[in-house]
Structure 1
């Protein structure tokens, strides 16, 4: 069977051009892998490779030998762009470039190459778009994999036509010779499971709300990656610059850590604080990091009632909202402004927070309305259970945020209608309970409005 190697990021990544967070695993599992397999090729991504030692070896091997490479450049992923360059240097053809349509400015070196685009909702991809792009990608993979004389798609071989690509069989023979050489260092034993398999166990644990197991698994993955980095540094002939840890892994580990409430809730929140602090949240433009930083400090404020935690949470949600212009950061920012307004002794400051909360909710309500217009409820009979579940979770939080915005704007009829619609489709009971708890607190804050200090 012919093979396809997929070059792309893993998990949720922030597109700093638009401020959106894209779940790249949804792109891979819902669109790319099914499309490639429908074309008759086996499909693998770097996190699915079973390997011993440093991952670079099998990754470069795949970039050289794979019959087809699909490179997804969404979120301007640096690793994906670099690996695409390696592929273009090694093979004159059979490389397909794709990306999410929010990517507006392509690097000069690839802006004249055919790039197939798809539409991503952020947390998920719409069913119709999944089916459209699957069909397009399957057709493209079939065409280039079955063509005995494919057109060159590498700019390296296009502009240097006399250049000869490396002979794959020669490279393979050299690699085999190196592994049997008595001088060659022996690699450590192969890992029992791939990164992808472990992450799937993390997903399963989170669905069961088994936060302690999810934390243990993520800690194992983190240790594996750190050990691999140490092996690279030990084998380097020159000093290697220390690299920051993968933000997606740290974000997920921080999330399950504070959700675990172990050994105590405050201890778990403090540990999550330290994990997130590794990503410099005070200056970060990563809205996922800012959202988690806000959540951790919001809860620390609720437990301790310390104003410093509340201020830090407000700062994080405010920054996240203005960077991303999204309902999640916006609705939490507005909520905490009202929470602070009832505590401030300076009446002018309290009134300012109250007014800013209202202004933010007006924006949030508009953002939610726009989301519903762009992502109408699909025919549920046509969706797979996984795609339907993902869509409904996002739909629920948008509708709940819209309802909360209406509550804060004193639009009671709209608020109740939105809440009824949200509760009717809540995928999980805890989501409804979370919304109800937040709105009860909000109504308490609104009932103690600082506008009473305004004199005629």
Structure 2
């Protein structure tokens, strides 16, 4: 199997699934890195996505070349990503066999009829991640599938489209690879470009991060297979602008807000866009006292919480509602109903965060510290100081183990802001 290749057709990053009327966010990078690539690596089959290839030449032509020439195409139709479905159709037109389809289990209830009669291998992926046992199970299952596909004699045709178009395709045999030699001269890829940008962001080199995200945006705008990454890139540009505090904090926030306007944040259903919009407006309100920023922060955080019941948007929605409650009290205006709403969201968030902590792989989660700090903040509101202190200690221990100083600093700042509110939270 040394010279075989597998082209993986899959969405990049976190994508939203609306299967069965529920909104969930699935991390398809996790699907690729945990379930797919390790299997092909173990079989010594070269495995890659379009974004892992270099960026010189036309990535659209490169993608078509890989779709046609790869010995195996593995297609993940989870979230019914439009680009993925189109590329699956291209594979079915260009290659008669060795196309493997996989899908997140809950999505199976809403896949298109024309795809549903193919064999589709299912895996479990919740918006909290892929369970450890599922990683083991699916890797073993996929390994058997690949071995079975490669050992077929005679090879089975899994593409009725190719059968129908076979004569027409023969005339195009030599035309689809015209940019191959040019593309192999440059090792840079869209994925590595984003990785470098993310690393610069993590090390707070925001000017470098913005430059790299700008390059990534240019590529994404020009190439159809990358366009569904634009929302992520623009969000990152806004985040890095906001965090840079250049030329000063207020101007940085205003500039970040302008960048986000491209994504129409008040109409968006993207949780990252909503959370970032809330954060920018929250800080703008704190700096300026402009009530429009207060209202925009509440709208964004509440919408994010309503869509997914996530702890981040929820705990921030509660805080901003408490801020508005405090303001109404100071103006001798009715405030009781608003506080009840904030209390309800706060208590719901606490329940959500405590359930997340109970998950068996909790300590490995990237956001585990933030979940613990959210619990501490919720107990702080409720006046349960012993429980608050307990979760602060858990957070400190985890932060020390992960060498994370930012989370605890941000929590301490938030705690001081809560103390400034003239509200009896109990």
Instruction: Give the TM-score, by structure 2 length.
Output: 0.88
Shift of 1:191: 5.6
Alignment of 1:299-338 (within 5 A): 299-338=283-322
Task: Select the residue among 134, 142, 149 that pairs with 1:137.
Answer: 142
3-state SS of 2:174 partner: helix
Shift of 1:76: 2.1
Measured in 1, the distance between the counterparts of 2:407 and 2:179 equals 54
Measured in 1, the distance between the counterparts of 2:183 and 2:144 equals 41
Is the 2:17–2:78 contact (alpha carbons within 8 Å) kept by the matching residues of 1? Answer: yes
Matched, 1:98 2:98: no
Query: How many residue pairs were aligned?
Result: 416
Shift of 1:316: 0.2
Shift of 1:397: 1.6
Residue 164 of structure 2 corresponds to 163
Measured in 2, the distance between the counterparts of 1:110 and 1:147 equals 22
Matched, 1:356 2:357: no
Residue 354 of structure 2 corresponds to 369
Measured in 1, the distance between the counterparts of 2:73 and 2:151 equals 14
Is the 1:64–1:168 contact (alpha carbons within 8 Å) kept by the matching residues of 2? Answer: no
Alignment of 1:280-429 (within 5 A): 280-344=264-328, 345=330, 347=332, 349-373=334-358, 375-377=359-361, 388=364, 391=365, 393-426=366-399, 427=402, 428-429=404-405
Is the 2:75–2:88 contact (alpha carbons within 8 Å) kept by the matching residues of 1? Answer: yes
Shift of 1:123: 6.5
Instruction: Give the TM-score, by structure 1 length.
Output: 0.82
Residue 12 of structure 1 corresponds to 14
Give a deviation string over 1:283-323, Cα, whole Å, max 9, x none.
Answer: 11122211111111111112222221111001000011101
Matched, 1:22 2:6: no
Q: Which runs of 5+ in 2 are unaligned?
A: none
3-state SS of 1:278 partner: helix
Q: Which runs of 5+ in 1 are unaligned?
A: 181-185, 233-242, 381-387, 452-456
Is the 1:3–1:68 contact (alpha carbons within 8 Å) kept by the matching residues of 2? Answer: yes
Give a deviation string over 1:340-381, Cα, whole Å, max 9, x none.
Answer: 2111255454222211111011111121233234x2247x8x
Is the 1:14–1:288 contact (alpha carbons within 8 Å) kept by the matching residues of 2? Answer: no
Matched, 1:213 2:208: yes
Is the 2:76–2:103 contact (alpha carbons within 8 Å) kept by the matching residues of 1? Answer: yes
3-state SS of 2:102 partner: strand
Let me know the Cα RMSD of the aligned residues.
3.0
Measured in 2, the distance between the counterparts of 1:212 and 1:119 equals 39
Is the 2:55–2:183 contact (alpha carbons within 8 Å) kept by the matching residues of 1? Answer: no
